[in-house]
Chain A
Amino acid sequence: MEIALLIRILSSVLADASPLVIAGMGETICERAGVINLSLDGSIMLSAMSGFAVAYLTGNLLLGFLAAMVVGAVIALLIAFASITLRQDQVAVGFVLTLLGAELANFLGEPFVRRPGPRVPHMPIPFLRDIPVIGEIFFTHDILVYASILLIVLVWFWIFKTQAGLRLRGVGERPEAAFARGVNVNRLRYLYAVTGGALVGIAGAAYSLSVKLGWSEGHTLGNGWIALAIVIFGGWHPLRVAFGAYLFGALISLGSILQRSIPGVPTQVFQAAPFALMILVLLLVSGGALERLLSFFPPRMRRLVGEALRVAPPAALGKPFVTE
């Protein structure tokens, strides 16, 4: 394959996967605090529609993103309220909100179907773009893509290098111990859930205003579920989750290329491929394959490698915290 083609593919993978990265980061911090936001698919759809609708009506991209952010945050707030304060099953509430979000998006979005709308402009960075190879891959995108990359670094830094990040980890692993050390567990959970939801909202708008322009029925269908799967695949570690998102994007691009070069394979295979891939990826991670892999390493190395390949969810994920 030509180098130029490869560069172009890598560049587009970076751009196309950026909403997934943003959603993945949002869900990672949410789940690290112990709250599952299962409504991602519905959230992304509703915020994609809202973002597009507001941007279309006002002509202002920023307002569109703001609207999407609010939508994502409100849905997350609802989930947080139902699970933290009302102590209802997070899976049940999340699932219903997925459907509700999707239906709302379809209903309210009807007047905006297939309308041409604003898009986020490309903002290549003046000097850096001219660097061979790297320049084209990294510095010829729009602001969202740059933001997504920055977000990965930010989230990683926050979780592992700050006191606040330590508190986040503690709240998700063992809330009783965090409480004993003066942390307001439920308040932090609300905060991270809502922040995560806001990021998910931005990811939604990133679809309708940048990656997959416009709005149609079921516009972003399935992407939320893939984001959830990537968080699991990534072991709740921001760098691995990002890696998962890019890997997914790359595999899908590979699929499109194969589709063009191998005639006769039905398009449906490529439509179904991301989801079959999702199952495969989860199978690999949950099926004990990694544990078996680890047993090949000597015990001392196991500790190091184990953390890198860690697949255990935050221990208190999904469980409401009750003080005596």
Chain B
Amino acid sequence: MTYSQRLVNLLLGLAPIALALIFSTLVLVAAGAPPLEAYKHLLQGASESPAKIADVLVVWVPLVLCSAGLLFTFTAGLWNIGVEGQIIFGVIFATWVARNIYLPAILLLPLMIVAGMIGGALWGLLAGTLKVYGGVHEIFAGLGLNFVAITTNIWLIAKPWRPELGATMQGTDPFQPAAWLPRLAGLRLSPVSLLLALMAVVVVFFILRGTLWGLQLKAIGKNVRSAYLLGIATNRHMLLSFALCGALAGLAGVVQVSGVWGRDIPQISGGIGYLALLVTMLSGFRALGVAPVALFFAAIGVGAARLHLRMQLDPSLAGVLEAGLVLSVLLVAGLRARLLMPREG
């Protein structure tokens, strides 16, 4: 590649970031907030103390788990928007175990993990079944089921799992001590969850790259009709991808209730599912890209909380930045393809 080509490539790689920054700066100006100060707070918010860094990692873990799981469904060409609901059902199943089964932690925690993964997998399978056998597009199935899951969780917290004292807005009563993931001193972060997140990425990477099933999934994603004719059991594989993605999302839910909050709260999924979709898109659908992108998003998310504290700005600025970035990437990729491609014909 010539020097000028390298330069162009570099510029095009940085262009989305520049675009996103310009956009969010305009938005800040529209909200009447000084942009530079906002960015300063955003960056400081994520790094100013060990507690803050731990907070970033706390957000990072469930994000990575969900994004890794989404790689399965994206590879199969599916839009699993229902991740949010799958997280919640992982929460519900794990919470049930925590509230009803009394065992030492060494047995209870794995049981909760398994239960949560089953819960998420089942909810994912439901979306998959509606798609494969019902012909309902997975976006609508996923969304509808998300709302159902959210309201189900709210009802559970309001009625059967109502706390003894206090408002239901605070969530259920805290879990039994055995149901809490071991944490680092004074922080809300659990080393177990970090381990789980890293393992998930590695496992997903190997399944997709190195196994026949992964290749079959890729074939389905590119051309489901040809894949079927080649003898691949397309329906089964698609359902399995929904189940696996749901399982990882359910695991994320377990981490939330057991490692972060210690109880079930109404906003337990906190939009992580939707964010994970953005993370996976931004990572170019590559397993190795998921962890760093998720870290970046987690940092912005935590930083935005500080923004709210110091500048009274709504923390949804983080979402604006994140979605803006993905949009910029899509636009620049399109521009690149159209400008640099040789003319057809």
Contacts and interface: CB of A to CB of B under 8 A. Distances in A.
A283 B314 contact: no
Interface residues of B, number: 51
B185 interface: no
Interface stretch (A177-185, A204-212, A247-255, A274-282): A274-282
Given A110-B314, A225-B143, A96 B136 contact: no
B246 interface: no
A43 interface: no
B176 interface: no
A97 B320 CA distance: 10
A96 B278 CA distance: 8
**Which of A278, A279, A282 has the most chain B CB atoms inside 10 A of its CB?**
A279
Contacts of A1: none
Interface of A: 38, 82, 85-88, 91-93, 95-97, 99-100, 102-104, 106-108, 110, 222, 225, 228-229, 266, 268-269, 271-272, 274-276, 278-279, 282-283, 286-288, 322, 324
Interface stretch (B93-101, B199-207, B324-332): B324-332
Interface stretch (B44-52, B102-110, B148-156): B148-156
Contact of B148 (A96, A97, A110, A276): A276
A92 B328 CA distance: 12
Interface string B309-333: 0000110110110111011001101
Contact of A95 (B158, B277, B334, B345): B277
5 contacts: A92-B281, A95-B79, A107-B31, A107-B314, A268-B152
Contacts, number: 135
Contacts of A271: 147, 151
Contacts of B145: 275, 279
Interface string B121-149: 00000000010011111011101111110
A287 B136 contact: yes
B37 to A, nearest CB: 16
B326 A96 contact: yes
A112 to B, nearest CB: 11
A305 B344 CA distance: 43
B172 to A, nearest CB: 16
User: 5 smallest A-B Cβ distances: which pairs?
Assistant: A86-B334, A103-B319, A286-B135, A100-B323, A268-B151
Contact of B137 (A268, A272, A282): A282
A106 B316 contact: yes
Given A99-B274, A106-B314, A278-B144, A266 B158 contact: yes
A324 B344 contact: yes
B6 interface: no
Contacts of B31: 107-108, 110
Nearest to B30: A108
Nearest to B154: A268
B194 interface: no
A107 B319 CA distance: 9
Contacts of B331: 82, 86, 88
A279 B134 CA distance: 10
Contacts of B140: 225, 228-229, 278-279, 282
Q: For the complex, would chain B's binding face be called helix, strand, loop or mixed by DSSP majority?
A: helix
A275 B323 contact: no
Contacts of A272: 147-148, 150-152
Interface of B: 27, 30-31, 79, 81, 130, 133-137, 139-141, 143-148, 150-152, 154-155, 158-159, 274, 277-278, 281, 313-314, 316-317, 319-320, 322-324, 326-327, 330-331, 333-335, 337-338, 344-345
A105 B334 CA distance: 26
Given A103-B323, A106-B319, 18 more contacts: A82-B331, A86-B335, A91-B79, A95-B79, A96-B281, A99-B278, A100-B320, A104-B316, A107-B317, A107-B319, A110-B314, A266-B158, A272-B150, A275-B147, A279-B130, A282-B137, A286-B134, A287-B136
Given A93-B327, A96-B281, A107 B27 contact: yes
A94 to B, nearest CB: 10
Contact of A222 (B30, B136, B147): B147
Nearest to A94: B139
Contact of B327 (A97, A278, A286): A97
Given A99-B278, A108-B27, A288-B135, A87 B334 contact: yes
A106 B133 CA distance: 37
Nearest to A272: B151
A266 B154 CA distance: 10
B316 A103 contact: yes
A74 B146 CA distance: 28
B148 A275 contact: yes
Given A99-B323, A100-B320, A279-B140, A92 B330 contact: yes
B152 A276 contact: no
Contacts of B134: 282-283, 286-287
A286 B137 CA distance: 9
A275 B143 contact: yes
Contacts of A88: 330-331, 333-334
Given A93-B327, A107-B317, A272-B152, A282 B344 contact: no
**Which of A92, A95, A107, A276 has the most chain B CB atoms inside 10 A of its CB?**
A107
Contacts of A282: 134-137, 140-141
